[in-house]
Amino acid sequence: MKGLSILIYMLVLITTPVSMASERSSDYAKLNSILSLLKAVKSPYLSGKAQLEIKNETIQLDDVKIWFTKDGNLLSEVKIGADATLDLPVYEDAKNIKMHVNQEKDDVSISLSTKIKELDVTEIAYNDLFVLLDDINSFMDGMAGGMSFMVPTMDAIKFKFASDATIEVLSAKQVYRFQTNKEHEISIDVSKKLRKENPMVRFSQLPTTMSPED
């Protein structure tokens, strides 16, 4: 499984002319707020990645420079990985902070994506599994801002398997057992009662994917 990747934000930078070179700058506050949400996630199975996308084949990674300023003063420069990943900072207060790129907007762009990682254990505590929904709901609400009332609440996780499989929730009072359907899928709604008890969840085999559902 390659993981479920969801494109969540494309940073569109405004072109501004400078002497002797082309430079783009943008307010960093919105992207900073998104990165802050990702930094706050509790689930080990949700991660985010910022990446440089080069659209002009004549441009190499070494040709791209990204840096931050505040009130005209240099704050930091961004390290670009060999795989084009970006180590973007998270500021407590991003007001008046500008992000600069030394390339034209049609030549390079910056994308931020989230990824739901593969489940890597066959037994896991209920809360360690379903906290994924808390993180995704908080993230989606934060992204939507004043329109969060239109965002659906994710209250279930769907697991896809390579073959027939079972999931057991080992509650103290009873064992909840789920069997795959014809598509080798199991969908489990989150339970407030089980969140409070926090029993172990046992998989007969590792799922190939897991994804949130409303």
The set of residues, in sequence order, having a beta carbon less than 8 Å from that of 68 and lying 6+ positions away, is 28, 74, 75, 76, 77, 78, 89, 97, 98, 99, 100
DSSP 200: E
pLDDT at 8 over 70: no
Whether the CB-CB separation of 66 and 101 falls below 8 Å is answered with yes
Q: Where does 4-116 sit in CATH, by number?
A: 2.60.120
> Could you give the dihedral angle defined by the CA atoms of residues 41, 195, 207 and 162, in that order, rounded to the nearest 10 degrees?
-140
The set of residues, in sequence order, having a beta carbon less than 8 Å from that of 7 and lying 6+ positions away, is 111, 113
Cα distance between residue 84 and residue 67, in whole Å: 15
pLDDT at 163 over 80: yes
Cα distance between residue 80 and residue 82, in whole Å: 7
Domain ranges of the chain: 4-116, 123-213
In this predicted structure, what is the pLDDT of residue 149? 64
Cα distance between residue 151 and residue 144, in whole Å: 7
Determine the average pLDDT of the residues in 36-61.
92
Cα distance between residue 89 and residue 108, in whole Å: 19
In this predicted structure, what is the pLDDT of residue 19? 27
Cα distance between residue 82 and residue 48, in whole Å: 18
Tell me the per-residue pLDDT of 65-123, one tens digit each, with 9 for 90 and over: 999 999 989 999 999 999 999 999 999 999 999 999 999 888 998 888 888 999 999 99
pLDDT at 2 over 70: no
Tell me the per-residue pLDDT of 10-37, one tens digit each, with 9 for 90 and over: 333 332 222 223 458 889 998 898 899 8
Q: Give the total residue count for the chain.
A: 214
Q: pTM for this structure?
A: 0.77
pLDDT band at 146 (very low <50, low <70, confident <90, very high): low
Cα distance between residue 33 and residue 104, in whole Å: 25
